Structure 1
Amino acid sequence: MSEKPFPVDAFPKSPFPDGLISISLWDFGSFEPLTYIYFNIAFVIIAYPLYRIIGGFFRWELDVKTPSNHFSDMMALVRYGFIVFVLGGYARTFNWIMILSFYLALFGFALLSELPFAKQSLITWRNWTIKMWMLFVAAVVAVLVMAGFHIYLAIQLMNVNNFREKNDVYIAWYLGSLVILPILMMFALIAKQEQNTRFLTKFYLKVISIFKRMPKKQQPLTNENGSETQQQTDTEAQNATTGTTPDAEPEQPQPYNKVARIHLHHWQIFYSLAFFTRFNHPISQVVGGITLGIYTQGIGAYGPDNYLEET
């Protein structure tokens, strides 16, 4: 029998009632109140102000924030953290290994971002230097290697779970979840195009114009001598003056005042990856801490900037 890659019975004990706890190695949602409190203390309450203090002391690149901005950003970390805690299985995997890797990634990525050639964003990729491209390729390779390792863990977990019927469902759902991100990005692209060109609105108006019942053209009213009535003559004169016709199409919708653009931020990338580091294995816990640390660094330094930006 092959050695199990991770323990399958490592359930944390909780002082809270069972009704508040939902922890399963195979379920995609899990929650345990005490672990969630520790999660927020370690990754929000301590991490955010500590990063701002140390970053300000060493003059790292930080956005200027008001007290209300700090409060809003910390609440954003709590909101996003709750989602990833529940759907990412952190009620089971949260431990000191993850905390240590979290803080190493939080400050390590900040130091890396302070390198002169690394002061770039994905939207400026055309201006990247060779060193920046080398750093980017190395990061992509590391992500792909860890993705392959986590797929291996998912397969191993599926094999351990052979006492259940349809034991291949887990790997299907695990890999199928990767489709969520392209779907969301596609909807964002549609929203961007609609805001900049109003192509959906124009298409909608064009479609309804096809089914819209056109008014029947009435025969001009004539008097006994066969000439048009005064009302018909006045209507035609008004149309000639305004340059309109009874069947003229309505004015086309204009683009919005603000132009939308897509800007993928590093906090969004690593926050998305944090949902897949859900295994009770030391390497998965280290990777989970790294993804959460880099995501927290992005919000701590700049705030939760949107994927769709307006200019």
Structure 2
Amino acid sequence: MAENITFPKSPFPDGLISISPWEFCSFEPLTYIYFNIAFIVIAYPLYRIIGGFFNWELDVKTPSVHFSDMMALVRYGFIVFVLGGYSRTFNWIMILSFYIALFGYALLAELPFAKQSFLTVRNWPIKMWILFITAICAILAMTGFHIYFAILLMNKNEFREKDDVFIAWYLGCLAIAPILMIFAWIANQEQNTRFLTKFFLKLLRIFKRKPATQPPSSQTENQNTEAQIPITADPDQPDQPQPYNKVSIIHLHHWQIFYTLAFFTRFEHPVSQIAGGITLGIYTQGIGAYGPDSYLEER
């Protein structure tokens, strides 16, 4: 028996629509248009206007940078819309929570003790630590709820084989972000220390053949030969790889954290829809205020 899937009314062909609670990829063109209008076309300029009026912390941007940042929101938004199941969960609850989070986080970030970053974590005041720990507890609570809801939804479905695949992939995707962070750490270390290049050169030295030795000769011949042969570098100490011109640092931004969390708020439940709006709102605030800064920064 196949699942009964009700598609929303849309002027687009049904072939463009793929919506199911058991699919990791879902798309509906009309909902996607509404998604972009609500979360990018309106939200980005509105945030910049209100933030500028109240003198919030905003990076100065040229028109070309504004355009690039909005296109970044479109690119990132398409990925999370398709893989995050927003074809099903996008509604007025999510829109309302989105704008509350967008401006609520901005007001919170304007508090004097909250003007911090992960680069200055050792110098955080007590109030900042309280705020940070509270946010971590809220994120863990929402994570636990979504895992529980995924298991609960799994048990309600009759297709056990498909259920098991869904929950395995849902939980397995939680490991994607740590894996990417490990690769980023490797790239950071390679740029700053060239440890991979040094290891590769060390392997080459191991397999490199030593030059054949010549038979001994008289002392006079040796002296003449030494005068003719130029001094070369010690083969055991080859030239070290040159360092890069710029140093890399790891800087985790709040937009990256909440953008990652937005992929897991995929259930048609008010709590999940509120969580989806909050994660998308804070992620949009980060790009709207500062731009899509990279996890690895060069200095």
Structure 2 length normalisation: TM-score? 0.93
- Amino acid aligned to 2:158: N
Instruction: Tell me the equivalent position of 1:236.
Output: 226
The answer to whether residue 40 in structure 2 is matched with residue 44 in structure 1 is yes
SS at match of 2:12: coil
Give the C-alpha shift of residue 219 in structure 1.
3.3
Name the structure 2 match of 1:266. 254
Relative to structure 1, the CA distance from residue 76 to residue 255 in structure 2 (aligned partners, 3 Å threshold; closer, same or farther) is same
Which 10-residue stretch deviates more, 104-113 or 254-263?
254-263
The answer to whether the aligner puts 1:160 opposite 2:156 as a matched pair is yes
Candidates 61, 68, 72, aligned match of 1:65: 61
Any runs of at least 4 consecutive aligned residues in structure 1 with deviations exceeding 3 A, and if so which?
Answer: 8-11, 226-229, 232-235, 241-245
* Aligned twin of 1:5: none
Q: What do you get for the CA RMSD once the two structures are aligned?
A: 1.9
> How much does 1:15 deviate?
2.0
| Deviation of 1:248 (Å) | 5.5
Letter in 1 for 2:39: F
Say whether 1:55 aligns with 2:51: yes
The residue type paired with residue 154 of structure 1 is: A
Question: Are 1:301 and 2:289 counterparts?
Answer: yes
Unaligned 5+ residue runs, structure 2?
none
Q: Which residue number in structure 2 is paired with residue 26 of structure 1? A: 22
Number of positions where the alignment pairs a residue of Structure 1 with one of Structure 2: 296
The amino acid across from 1:126 in the alignment is R
Aligned to 2:101: 105
CA offsets per residue over residues 131-190 of structure 1, 9 Å max, x none? 111111111111111111111110111112223425322111111111111100000110
2:196 maps to 1:200: yes
Residue from 127, 131, 135 that aligns with 2:127: 131
Aligned to 1:171: 167
**What is the identity, as a one-letter code, of the residue corresponding to 2:296?**
L
Q: Quote the offset at 1:14 in angstroms.
A: 2.4
Q: Which residue matches 2:183? A: 187
- Partner SS for 2:161: coil
Q: Match for residue 257 of structure 1? A: 245
1:4: which partner in 2? none
Matched, 1:77 2:46: no
What TM-score comes out, normalization by structure 1 length? Answer: 0.90
User: C-alpha deviations, 1:76-109, integer Å up to 9, x for none?
Assistant: 0001001100100001111111111101100010
Question: Larger Cα Rg: Structure 1 or Structure 2?
Answer: 1
Contact between 1:29 and 1:88, CA under 8 Å: does it hold in 2? Answer: yes
TM-aligned CA distance change 1:212 to 1:242, over 3 Å:
closer
1:148/1:11 CA distance change after superposition, 3 Å: farther
